[in-house]
Structure 1
């Protein structure tokens, strides 16, 4: 309420400073005849001196005085004497001032009521920051980035920044941040697992050779690390080793705590693999020739589906790896060439395919 009183007083003072002179009566002005009268008297004195010295006669003196009197009358008659302000004009001016004084604040209040937020309660700075956490988060992120730009060897700072980049979808930046955290503050299974995840997501979901090396280092430090085990199972799937991937996911679920939040993701991946592949026991019980035939049939089915159109980077990588594992190098090269054509608009996919080509030794496919 106090602020409204202050604003009202300031508005009234500003309006009064402008309108106060308009409400005062203008003083009446009189004609300035002093100059003409003084000149007339000087002329009369000059005429009397000339008469006393016998320079002019009495008749000429009277004629000169009459002429000076006529000049004085002409001068005073030609000057307009302004009158003071009339009472009606003064009343009109004061009425206009009063209307302006009352209408300006009223108009301001009406505009604020229509377009402002008069019912919004006041909030202290802390409450406003809580109401807009994104602004606070961006400010904190900018401070961390500025700190690391000045102190690039601060491993703990990189360890704080890397998960933030990962959640923001800045996967390449996250992979570099995790690598810097490992380099300057030591390797841990969580940091290595985060680095591998960022590498995989940056490659469009493909478990690249670099990601496999990072996962292997994480599993050396902690063989039970769930994130590393999950992505290694995906690597097996992409290699065409679907039964092994299913077995790895089942083992991961068996070792998972009851309240682990990631079990839903693992279970959904396992169910998808089981629906898309025949039972592993049925394949394993087949003779060697028939087992290889069944595996080749699955790979050929995937190749036929991708040849019809579409397919993600993960699907093409799985097909190429499977064909390479089966020893069908020519088919793997053809699939790699087709994948590069289909995914040419995706720069990250092209980079991932280049890495896969080097990993599997399929350089001839680029000729």
Structure 2
């Protein structure tokens, strides 16, 4: 019923918009030709009065009457022409009004009956959310979860599901609130804490705030090996002006990570930024090596790293059965910007493990990651 009332109002507005310019308005004043006729009739009466009183002669009176008569004929013709034009305009206005009154509703109704769905029942948003077969619309899914959470505010699982989606949509504040609610209702774990920490960093424009750092520390309390928390704690140290501490954190993360870990490239780039020694460059620096590196300049650290890589290469030349060593050597040369040496290390590694399919697979995977070709 409301729909048809709305349609009626819109149709009335459309008709009014058409008829308003066609309105006749007030009765127009006499035309110029009709005014001239009235003047000429007065002139004829005045001529007759002058003849009756003897003010003009008969001949003069006839001449004057003839002249006024010609003027009356001319004015009458003009008045007739204006009347015909006015009647034509009035006819056109009436025709346009009929079209507006009849045509607009008929055309609109026909289009709606043809293209619309007048018999379709009302579909409130809640019903569409429940009945919608196509669940690909992320906005609809989000609204469905939000409606569920409004009715069930203690459903921590719902907050956990929607939090990362908020982050991908750029709704960072909502993501942070959702992660905090999930932690409050479900308890702390590494995934929830790192999710909260990343949202807080995004809120701060990339700065690891104290609150974000606390979230990552809580994540490590639940899972000491969580790579995401370890990386961001290293970033927090770097932002606090502690590059050596950041290098230690990232170095330990790199040492604990598999050779094909997707985050290793980012970790090594971060280590190079603070002049840290990549643990991939050698079997593992000793405590004294790390302590010595902390007191060196960035250039000296780079030279130290290169020396460790060359020692690793010499060791593998003598005993090439260490697949992890070859992978470390490939990555180390790549981090140092020695692409040709990294390719040569990959080639030598393939030679040593020519009959070991799993090892060849690891070598090829790392070569593709480093952009060394196959």
Normalising to structure 1: TM-score of the pair?
Answer: 0.40
- Greater Rg over alpha carbons, structure: 1
